[in-house]
Amino acid sequence: MLRHVTLLVPDYDDGLRFFVDGLGWTCLSDIDEGRKRWVTVAPPGGGPSLVLARPTSAAQSRALGAQTGDRVGLFLETDDFETTAARITAAGGRFLEAPRDAPYGRVAQWCDPWGNRWDLLGPA
């Protein structure tokens, strides 16, 4: 079972504000380990959680917002497309396209505040 996926964020608290305060995700852990924190968040409905990680090297800093290049690297599924899209926008996310219908459902590409590309997926 895939449990966690790491997502670089410029600051742990910025990540928590976006995902927990903005999108309504759950903070599963926020443990101070001295030089870093172990911060995990999960969307409603479960699935793998994100480990929010602050860059600790020049290479990681360069990858901030572009962990998968210019491809969509994360897929967020929702039962309520419009409400979730509105929350993403209000929290500081930016949609790159209007929603469209695909064989697998409704989809729209968006970026989180740091530039990582996501797909929002909803029912057809």
**Reported pTM:** 0.94
| Backbone angle region of 47, left / alpha / beta, with phi > 0 → left and psi within -120 to 50 → alpha | left
CATH topology of domain 4-122: 2,3-Dihydroxybiphenyl 1,2-Dioxygenase; domain 1 (3.10.180)
Q: In the predicted model, what is the mean pLDDT of residues 15-24?
A: 98
Confidence of residue 45 (pLDDT cuts 50, 70, 90): confident
Report the distance separating Cα 15 and Cα 10, nearest Å: 8
CA 105 – CA 15 distance, rounded (Å): 28
Assess contact for 7 and 52: CB atoms under 8 A: yes
pLDDT tens digits for range 66-95: 999 999 999 999 999 999 999 999 999 999
pLDDT reported for residue 46: 86
Task: Provide the residue ranges of all domains of the chain, joining segments of one domain with +.
Answer: 4-122
* Cα–Cα distance, 74 to 77 (Å, whole number): 10
